[in-house]
Structure 1
Amino acid sequence: MSPVPTPTMRLSAAALVAIALLCGCQRAGNPIATAIGQGARGATDAGGLAGTSDSLPLPPGFPEDVYLPQGYRVNSVMTLPRASVLSLSVRGDVDALLADAQTAMQAEGWTPTLSARHSADTAMLAFEKPGTGAVRNATLSFSRNVGDERVILGVQLREIRRQ
């Protein structure tokens, strides 16, 4: 193994850092952000709200085979070429959400590549799945939200094209 990091290794490290930073992000008391959040509505296929009334919408083309817990709220979305990073919040407990995510992702054909438990209140799962001409990666991070019963769920999706 080469001691020089490959571009894939650097991208993976950058992605993990981004997820770790998103897990610590809390909604700011910014009136502009509040107005944007109140104006955006995430809808389900049935026409109802995806989470709560202040949920942002999922990015266009968000894959249906990626775990989203019942009653989630989208706090932030970052879309890049061949990658998306989302911060969600959901009522629940890290253990139950972790088990649900593991079961749901494997049922959708995702192969687990990482399972890490940092404390009773934080955990991370990573998966990959072959796609057409690319390998898809999904990383889910779970962190208890300080001061309430919600869990912050970081979702990072990447597509790595085969050469």
Structure 2
Amino acid sequence: MAIVLQEEGLYDKARIYATDIDDDALESAQKGIFPLRNMKAYTQNYIRSGGTRDFADYYTAQHESVIFHSSLMKNIVFARHNLVTDQSFNEFNVILCRNVLIYFNRELQHRAHQLFYESLAKLGFLVLGDKESILFNPYTHCYEAMDDREKLYRKIK
């Protein structure tokens, strides 16, 4: 997200909230450290998102890890947040929650969708993982599909 915003000239006008329930995952992300084995998939995602440069320009490989450039981290707030028990803490224009809901039962998925709805500004975007859906939850009618394949939805109500 930081890279796309930077390439579009919007990074300095944005604040990204990166949340997770796992403190270790947050710590690694805050340091900008990711496994080298993930770079092929990340590069494909970058290209698919319309990236305009060589993805490798944004990180340095070191042994079995990569470290993303610190300039990408300056507008990111890293925080622990539990989709199941925590409340909304801001109003957002975009929420990305990829490949989390697939691990939740229906009740927990509904709770997460309630949180997304309460946290998303009208006309804001919700992006889910490729195995996830907004179907069959109480907020389905509040969104319009912008791109079904990419699981991109806009809040309309």
User: Which TM bucket (shorter chain)?
Assistant: under 0.3
TM-score with structure 2 setting the length: 0.25
TM-score with structure 1 setting the length: 0.24
Which one has the bigger helix percentage?
Answer: 2
Which one has the bigger strand percentage?
Answer: 1
